[in-house]
Structure 1
Amino acid sequence: MSPPSGRPPEGTEEPPGTGRITPTIGELDLHLLGEGRHLRLHDALGAHVVTVDGERGTSFSVWAPEAAAVSVVGDFDGWDPEAHPMRSLGPSGVWELFVPGVGDGAAYKFAVRSQAGEVIQHADPLARRAEVPPATASIVHHPTYEWSDDGWVERRRSSHPWTEPMSIYEVHLGSWRRDPDRPDAQLSYAELADELAAYVTDMGFTHVELLPVMQHPFSGSWGYQVTSFFAPASVWGTPEDLQTLVDRLHAHGVGVLLDWVPAHFPRDEWALARFDGSALYEHADPRRGSHPDWGTLVFNHGRHEVLSFLLSNALFWLQDVHADGLRVDAVASMLYLDYSRQPGEWVPNEHGGREDLEAVAFLQELNRVVHAEVPGTVSVAEESTAWPGVSRPTDQGGLGFGFKWNMGWMHDTLGYFSREPAHRKYHHGELTFSLVYAFTESFVLPLSHDEVVHGKRSLLEKMPGDRWQRFANLRALYGYMWAHPGKKLLFMGGEIAQEREWSEQRSLDWHLLEDAAHGGVQSLVRDLNHTYRRTPALWEVDSDPDGFSWIEADDADRNVVAFARHGADGTPPLVCVANLSPVPRHDHRIGFPSAGRWDEVLNTDAGVYGGSNVGNLGGVVAEAVPSHGQPASAEVVLPPLGVVWFTPAVPGTSG
């Protein structure tokens, strides 16, 4: 917190009973707030346990410029709006009060009286902790957690995520795994810490991505309708419990990405909506401030104080909670003024266009700040349109994100794999089109939670054919995905071939692993991850066309594709061949980048994965016979509905 300035800010009004204690908020804090440049706003506003003039208590402060009066209420004063009136710190719009004797764990709200005389008790926008729903009060929180991941954080500063492996396990904490003795009760962050960290490590994922862990009373929103942006979801425990989870994952070498929602917020009157009786955090005009799809309110990204709020919130999760990156939700809805709106329902920008220039400027500033203040962390955009340069630097006109979800790849690839193999030749372009634009952005390939809900069916149930073919198709999808350029993301349950659609109200169906077919898919995902991580050709130059070359792109009649992945100079290549028909193909000649022995390092049809064990007995020998534009070739066996990977044999390791 910035030190007090030594005198009350200009225009300070003292309500009766506050005494003459110097405000605990300095003039610099107020200036930076108004400029939209306060990157540690959470150290200034909110509730902070401090000692003032030798007396221990809590300093409360809140931004409410249009309020007629504000008081702090809580379990320490019987929730009496008359007991602790706050003083206005002049034109900044900030109200402040130090209350002696109030400490860690006290429940409180701000009673805000509007200019119209209505009084509403609001949760603190910058609270670090919140009550467990359905209760809605904020809780005074004095941070005490002692981190043990200094080595991780230091190594992160010099990391280069674009040239490193990234395989992300997307998790909803409330439904990943529940205690079988109390299936209706959700495990806490701390209870999940050891089990999740051990599981993800065993499975070989490099990162966990958590659906929003910010306070969200409505569980059906999955965390995407946040009411307290600085408070961890209390249903899963305390802030220290969440820090324990992050710390434990780091101890296992696993990075942590958090879903983050700076686009919109819910209308609950006790939260951010019309906080001081006016449109404070949201736009006043419903054509900009009301979201038609989700019934929520849209942040006013052009207001400086809102910028301070959101920028400091992003840094809070990266710096104070040690997250390794933020996946920014609903970016497309931020970029376009006419998103989900009909003509007449939106307001053009100053140039008459549909681009939200204020939101664009905010996203660019967000990425500049994140990459400057927390080097080595990543920002990932969930952006579903063709907006150019989402993951290009801001000084080149881009939005500055580290990565962009490749929604086009997801849509086309799932569309292809959901078709009967007999029809796939007519849709071959759905499989190959992603390589036309694969290097225009730094992409993440997502098979996310959105693809297994609302009647879309589980990934396994999307696959055609009988039971054996469905499992074979799913394994082939994963084999193709892990070899395709781009970082990987798989929603929990995909690795065990979950049969039911996901629901936030129940655990994954872990009992399915008693079945060999489900266990085989899990074994495949584990091997895909570990093979991926030790094969630099699959990630060193992910976003560069030099990292990929087609070998066979046009064999639509046989549903066969083949390509090579390349790393930096001297990195051995990997050849991926996919036979997406149910017919095994023997003596199928495929080009290879060089002559010599090539080991079959992965085969999705292996018996251990539940396949038919059709393969190449450990490898093939490529002869100096040109084919498919390559200097060498070999006759290979392609398993039915299978994907095989080959890498050059290391001398002395292959028979």
Structure 2
Amino acid sequence: MTVRTTSASVRPTAAASLDATDRGRLLSGAHHDPHALLGAHPVPGGVVFRALRPYAQAVAVVVDGMRTRLDDVGDGLFSGVLPLDAIPEYTLSVTYDGTDFEAQDPYRFLPALGEVDLHLIGEGRHEELWKALGAHPMAHEGVLGTRFTVWAPNARGVRVCGDFCHWDGSTGFPMRSLGSSGVWELFLPGFGEGTLYKFDITRPDGTHTLRADPMARRTEVPPATASIVTESSYAWGDAGWMAERAERTAVHEAPFSVYEVHLPSWRPGWTYRQLADELPSYVRDLGFTHVQFMPVAEHPFGGSWGYQVTGFYAPTARLGTPDDFKYLVDALHRAGIGVLMDWVPAHFPRDDWALAEFDGRPLYEHEDPQP
């Protein structure tokens, strides 16, 4: 296997070029399978490498420490054919403002979501969607990164964008459609905890909408609206209480007294962890067996007390992180107090970054018969 070792551009060939239709769809964010165009693919005469890196000054392929520069073919696309017998292990060296950054190519990875998940999603009976959809840090094919997945069956295309591309959807990373499931997927190597992101969705009419992740487990503090990649490191300390709960009399046959609380106004300005220092003993001393949190799922307007939900899987960031919320629940359990949470699936606000007409058509809501 040979590879050029100079930094000069490879010679353009017909195999390196994209069909005009594919090129247009890719650049407009409306291609269902960007992995078929980008990355590395066998062609007559070798292996073609293509990368979409808008605003990059140069892109090179690095194989076994040897760097070969690709040709700039316009609109942020770089391509070239290397005389190789097979697709090698490789990275990309991307130059911005005169500085080189070496990174894994997202378009060399197979899908990171399994067929069982897709089958269950397609049948509408996946019972752990939060594990299949959203942003999940993971190791995939031996590389650390984050798998992004979103259900957007009406979309013509979806791209991941965020602070890493200055919230410009046209410079985001195109995702692939996983068949008829309506799920779009992309594994981004090197991305992890703390990454701010949204999905740039191409609607059926070709227009774009920038949306927070419906399955996000962490969000920015309102009024900011981005989703945040997160991975829990919390170690629960309530094993004793959980074991006792499993053995005790059924809850509906035992004494049951509930203290309802709206956390942001019980002690205004306190965090989840500060509440954990006082709420458990307060509730226990009053003789309550349980607390019921008024809605804690993320919501944009604090005055709604949580009854206008935009993020069902993320505890509101106003009081801390998801692990901080777990700390509060853990403290209540260790004090012998059960926790109930008010869940509000019936309605949500129509903010243009959230759930309403998520992929250009009613998806999480019934279509209005009289728009």
TM over 0.5: yes
Unaligned runs of 5+ in 1: 1-11, 179-185, 291-655
TM-superposition CA deviations, 1:349-407 (whole Å, max 9, x none): xxxxxxxxxxxxxxxxxxxxxxxxxxxxxxxxxxxxxxxxxxxxxxxxxxxxxxxxxxx
Asked whether the equivalents of residues 131 and 138 of structure 1 are also in contact (C-alpha less than 8 Å), the reply is yes
Runs of at least 4 residues off by over 3 Å: 14-18
Aligned to 1:143: 232
* TM-score, normalised with respect to structure 2: 0.70
Matched, 1:269 2:357: no
Aligned to 2:255: 165
Aligned to 1:280: 363
Matched, 1:106 2:195: yes
Matched, 1:14 2:34: yes
Aligned to 2:205: 116
- Of 192, 208, 222, the residue aligned with 2:275 is 192
Structure with the higher strand share, 1 or 2: 2
Q: Distance in 1 between matches of 2:33 and 2:262?
A: 46
* TM-score, normalised with respect to structure 1: 0.40
The aligned runs of 1:194-593 (5 Å cut-off) are: 194-286=277-369
2:108 counterpart SS class: coil
2:148 counterpart SS class: strand
Q: Distance in 2 between matches of 1:124 and 1:205?
A: 36
Q: Distance in 1 between matches of 2:320 and 2:295?
A: 14
Q: Which amino acid aligns with 1:280?
A: L
Q: Distance in 2 between matches of 1:222 and 1:53?
A: 44
Aligned to 2:126: 38
Asked whether the equivalents of residues 70 and 113 of structure 1 are also in contact (C-alpha less than 8 Å), the reply is yes
Shift of 1:88: 0.8
TM-superposition CA deviations, 1:183-216 (whole Å, max 9, x none): xxx2111111011111111111111111001001
Asked whether the equivalents of residues 45 and 62 of structure 1 are also in contact (C-alpha less than 8 Å), the reply is yes
1:133 counterpart SS class: coil
1:39 counterpart SS class: coil
Q: Distance in 2 between matches of 1:107 and 1:20?
A: 23
CA RMSD, 1 decimal:
1.7
Q: Distance in 2 between matches of 1:31 and 1:272?
A: 24
Aligned to 2:53: none
1:124 counterpart SS class: coil
CA separation of 1:268 and 1:164: change in aligned 2, threshold 3 A: same
Q: Which amino acid aligns with 1:197?
A: P
Matched, 1:69 2:167: no
Shift of 1:54: 2.3
Asked whether the equivalents of residues 73 and 79 of structure 1 are also in contact (C-alpha less than 8 Å), the reply is yes
Q: Which amino acid aligns with 1:74?
A: G
Q: Distance in 2 between matches of 1:45 and 1:105?
A: 18
Q: Distance in 2 between matches of 1:31 and 1:52?
A: 21
Matched, 1:80 2:100: no
Q: Which amino acid aligns with 1:13?
A: D
Q: Distance in 2 between matches of 1:162 and 1:42?
A: 29
Unaligned runs of 5+ in 2: 1-31, 39-105
Q: Which amino acid aligns with 1:83?
A: G
Matched, 1:48 2:136: yes
1:103 counterpart SS class: coil
Q: Which amino acid aligns with 2:284?
A: T
- Of 212, 216, 237, the residue aligned with 1:127 is 216
Asked whether the equivalents of residues 297 and 315 of structure 2 are also in contact (C-alpha less than 8 Å), the reply is yes
Asked whether the equivalents of residues 76 and 102 of structure 1 are also in contact (C-alpha less than 8 Å), the reply is no
Percent identity, aligned pairs only, is 57
Asked whether the equivalents of residues 51 and 57 of structure 1 are also in contact (C-alpha less than 8 Å), the reply is yes
1:129 counterpart SS class: coil
2:167 counterpart SS class: coil
Asked whether the equivalents of residues 69 and 86 of structure 1 are also in contact (C-alpha less than 8 Å), the reply is yes
1:95 counterpart SS class: strand
Aligned to 1:60: 148
Q: Distance in 1 between matches of 2:362 and 2:343?
A: 22
Q: Which amino acid aligns with 2:244?
A: R
Q: Which amino acid aligns with 2:199?
A: F
Q: Distance in 1 between matches of 2:345 and 2:255?
A: 27
Q: Distance in 2 between matches of 1:35 and 1:88?
A: 17
1:264 counterpart SS class: coil
Aligned to 1:368: none
2:164 counterpart SS class: coil
Asked whether the equivalents of residues 227 and 271 of structure 1 are also in contact (C-alpha less than 8 Å), the reply is yes
Q: Which amino acid aligns with 1:208?
A: V
Q: Distance in 1 between matches of 2:360 and 2:305?
A: 28
Asked whether the equivalents of residues 46 and 61 of structure 1 are also in contact (C-alpha less than 8 Å), the reply is yes
Asked whether the equivalents of residues 162 and 172 of structure 2 are also in contact (C-alpha less than 8 Å), the reply is no
Q: Distance in 2 between matches of 1:215 and 1:64?
A: 21
Matched, 1:91 2:111: no
Shift of 1:286: 4.1
Shift of 1:19: 2.0
Q: Which amino acid aligns with 1:25?
A: L
The aligned runs of 1:172-187 (5 Å cut-off) are: 172-178=262-268, 186-187=269-270
Asked whether the equivalents of residues 13 and 90 of structure 1 are also in contact (C-alpha less than 8 Å), the reply is no
Structure with the higher helix share, 1 or 2: 1
Q: Distance in 2 between matches of 1:265 and 1:85?
A: 28
1:226 counterpart SS class: coil
Q: Which amino acid aligns with 2:326?
A: Q
Asked whether the equivalents of residues 71 and 111 of structure 1 are also in contact (C-alpha less than 8 Å), the reply is yes
Q: Distance in 1 between matches of 2:254 and 2:121?
A: 37
Asked whether the equivalents of residues 58 and 101 of structure 1 are also in contact (C-alpha less than 8 Å), the reply is yes
Q: Distance in 1 between matches of 2:146 and 2:180?
A: 23
Q: Distance in 1 between matches of 2:136 and 2:273?
A: 25
Q: Distance in 1 between matches of 2:34 and 2:202?
A: 17
Count how many residue pairs are aligned between Structure 1 and Structure 2: 271
TM-superposition CA deviations, 1:399-452 (whole Å, max 9, x none): xxxxxxxxxxxxxxxxxxxxxxxxxxxxxxxxxxxxxxxxxxxxxxxxxxxxxx
1:50 counterpart SS class: strand
Q: Distance in 2 between matches of 1:75 and 1:57?
A: 16
1:19 counterpart SS class: helix
Shift of 1:132: 0.3
Q: Distance in 2 between matches of 1:176 and 1:242?
A: 15
Asked whether the equivalents of residues 214 and 231 of structure 1 are also in contact (C-alpha less than 8 Å), the reply is yes
TM-superposition CA deviations, 1:245-270 (whole Å, max 9, x none): 00000111111110001222221111
Q: Distance in 2 between matches of 1:23 and 1:241?
A: 32
Asked whether the equivalents of residues 34 and 174 of structure 2 are also in contact (C-alpha less than 8 Å), the reply is no
